[in-house]
Chain A
């Protein structure tokens, strides 16, 4: 499919074709009202520019890029980028353009569905909202009565309205909240909090030299970083990429090193060795800002580039040169902090080592370095305090399973184990909002095992994800183009600190209802209505009460900028660490008996007949949620197994051959794709395929589910899922 197709407005013909497809999809739940809801476009006169333009922010991934929806006769005809939206540099990516296909997706959930057969069997009964909400409230109350209020787990998603699910959990009385983040980036957050006291933004645009490891920024898009990286490259920035795969980021880099997976820590310790031993750091800065220089100096002595070469397979002379080049460009140079860091059992320590090199470069709070959070200025509306329940559990169910778990995020891996074990107490309910851990969490069989332990599971979503498919009750939510949402406060790296608005471009389709409405209704039924006695209009006004110019700017431009300080925020201030400085040597870790400076442990050796399975994002799909999107699916209609031609040859596998991939926890089939740009000991596949749900046409039974293959290891410090610790065997189908 050519890229021009992406920007083409949906034609009437396609629109009606989709409507027809939606009627066909009625086998999932019987959905006869699709055509009725979508026929509002019929009256539009050809050639007339009667489009209404509505400011919104995208929800096809987490970035929240600014857009303008063109609405013609009640139908969203096209999504344009908001040219005044600096965070996204006035652009909207292919995924963003495809948001229109989420709105008019024939696979959308259209009314409440109650499971009638066994879990996962796909037998549903359409019920009214009254019936659905009464049933949900009754089930939640019954679990609270029998198992305490902590007997219900809440998974709030990463949506603009997810904050209300957090509030509901708090008001209901459950500490058991697990977000998506423990399947994504919490080890990075842990590492930077424990080094700088804050999770940074990367000033990619002004950086002269970037080392990128464990990140694929030209495919796993982050705004403005992905765009700024391209701009900076044109301006002479040097980019060095470490990745076992020849990604698009590697292809556009100055240097690519196919690092031996699991050895990045050796590379960064060796960089620190060179910078320290050759005194390439600013001694005055180190004396003033860094804590633990003496300990770090002693610690890195064994970690020479020659030693690191044996671990990483990156030549020592290059490690030495890269260290010198980084230092020469400092402070406008960086080790890019990355995002998804759910890879190894020592993920936090790997990112700690990256943070330590950044500290040696002196780039914190500096142009071209790592940036602190700017002031955005949104207020938190004052709501009634959550009640206290004396007859409740005192801790989360996953408490104590990781050294330094984030209370607000939890750990999906550890919570799932706790539920399966029934220890320390039973958790028997699960409320899920726009999360799909059956596809995003490693070891799908275990997630199914966890679900078997539940008395009640409900999902609120736009489409029938695998997680919704396994639920007892499924409630339809509107897409972002149909919603009035809380105001968003955003920081776009060096580009801006801003607030952005999302207002409905069109009314909510079918019987879909926003999750705030659902939560208010549930609260009323559970005698908790007083805690949700507000509406979205009031909430948004309260958020903006200290930004008098914002309302006008949002109405005129869809965005308001706070001209707050960008660099030098920390001038004269202490850091949020125990030593009040940037901690090379972490004082708290030492007190807790953890390695205060990262110690290298070699990764488990890969058996000769196996491969290491690695994950990675591409530009089309988000967290296994957009694979079935009609427009994006045309870019990639199934996943393949990336395997090196030499490895494939050894196994008698040709390009496009069907193969069976086996791990200790699963077995999946898909086609092989021979790629010279992947290490011979590593294989890769994209996530989000091989869906269980028959409600996701184009993804159900298509390709392989990587979550079914990955074993569920966890980062020891943060509880982050560790998804690169699995070894798999590969065989041509029929030969397996």
Chain B
């Protein structure tokens, strides 16, 4: 999984100087990302469930980028869930949370 993410990040590394909007677009498809986020993350990350509620606007764009780029998930309790996701899935989820992050043009909860 780590290698697969590293490949993704290598790809992303080529565009780090580009605009945030373009960057978000190259991360993946945010519509698919919303579906995957709800399917894979929201089951636990919401009020009344086992993990703290998590929405795209829970973090800034930079925070989301760091989480995905630095493979922070390896320290998470749900790291096993992360490893089940494909590279494309991760790109899509990042596109969604990044596009609606706390400091994005359209901050949003996951409804």
Interface residues of A (CB under 8 A from B): 175, 193-194, 197, 379-380, 382, 385-388, 394, 404, 406-408, 576-578, 580, 588, 591-592
Contact = CB atoms under 8 A, between A and B. Distances in A.
Nearest to B62: A578
B103 A197 contact: yes
A404 B105 contact: yes
12 contacts: A175-B31, A194-B105, A379-B47, A385-B35, A385-B42, A386-B35, A404-B105, A407-B106, A576-B107, A578-B61, A591-B20, A591-B21
Contacts of B29: 394
Interface in B77-111: 102-103, 105-107, 109, 111
Contact of A193 (B20, B46, B60, B105): B105
B80 to A, nearest CB: 21
A179 to B, nearest CB: 14
The 10 A-B residue pairs whose C-beta atoms are closest, nearest first, are: A591-B19, A388-B35, A385-B38, A578-B103, A576-B107, A576-B103, A576-B102, A404-B105, A394-B29, A380-B111
A175 B29 CA distance: 13
A689 B73 CA distance: 59
A251 B108 CA distance: 41
Contacts of B42: 385
Nearest to B46: A382
B3 interface: no
- The secondary-structure label for the interface of chain A is loop
Contacts of A379: 47
A406 B19 contact: no
A588 B21 CA distance: 9
B72 interface: no
A471 to B, nearest CB: 28
Nearest to B105: A404
Interface string B32-47: 1001001100100011
Given A385-B35, A385-B39, A576-B102, A197 B21 contact: no
Given A197-B107, A576-B107, A591-B20, 18 more contacts: A193-B105, A194-B105, A197-B103, A379-B47, A380-B109, A382-B46, A385-B35, A385-B38, A385-B39, A386-B35, A394-B31, A407-B106, A578-B103, A588-B21, A591-B19, A591-B21, A592-B19, A592-B21
Contacts of A407: 106
A146 B57 CA distance: 37
A197 B19 CA distance: 19
A588 B22 CA distance: 12
A407 B32 CA distance: 14
B51 to A, nearest CB: 15
Contacts of A577: 103
Contacts of B19: 591-592
A588 B38 contact: no
Contacts of B57: 576
Contacts of A388: 32, 35
A576 B38 CA distance: 23
Contacts of A197: 103, 107
A53 to B, nearest CB: 35
Contacts of B20: 578, 588, 591
A577 B35 CA distance: 26
Contacts of A578: 20, 61, 103
A243 B7 CA distance: 58
A576 B60 CA distance: 8
B93 to A, nearest CB: 13
A580 B35 contact: no
Interface centre among A194, A408, A576, A580 (most CB of B within 10 A): A576
Nearest to B102: A576
B10 to A, nearest CB: 23
Contacts of A408: 106
B20 to A, nearest CB: 6
Contact of B106 (A385, A394, A406): A406
Contacts of A588: 20-21, 105
A263 B65 CA distance: 41
B41 to A, nearest CB: 11
Contacts of B32: 388
Nearest to B36: A388
B77 to A, nearest CB: 22
A592 B29 CA distance: 20
Contacts of A386: 35
A573 to B, nearest CB: 11
A407 B106 CA distance: 8
Contacts of B111: 380
A408 B106 CA distance: 9
A580 B103 contact: yes
A388 to B, nearest CB: 4
A173 to B, nearest CB: 10
A166 to B, nearest CB: 9
Contacts of B46: 382
Contacts of B102: 576
Nearest to B18: A591
Interface in B6-32: 19-21, 29, 31-32
A388 B36 CA distance: 9
A290 B21 CA distance: 23
A96 to B, nearest CB: 30
A406 B100 CA distance: 11
A354 to B, nearest CB: 19
Nearest to B101: A576
Contacts of A194: 105
A578 B35 CA distance: 26
Contacts of B107: 197, 576
Contacts of A175: 31
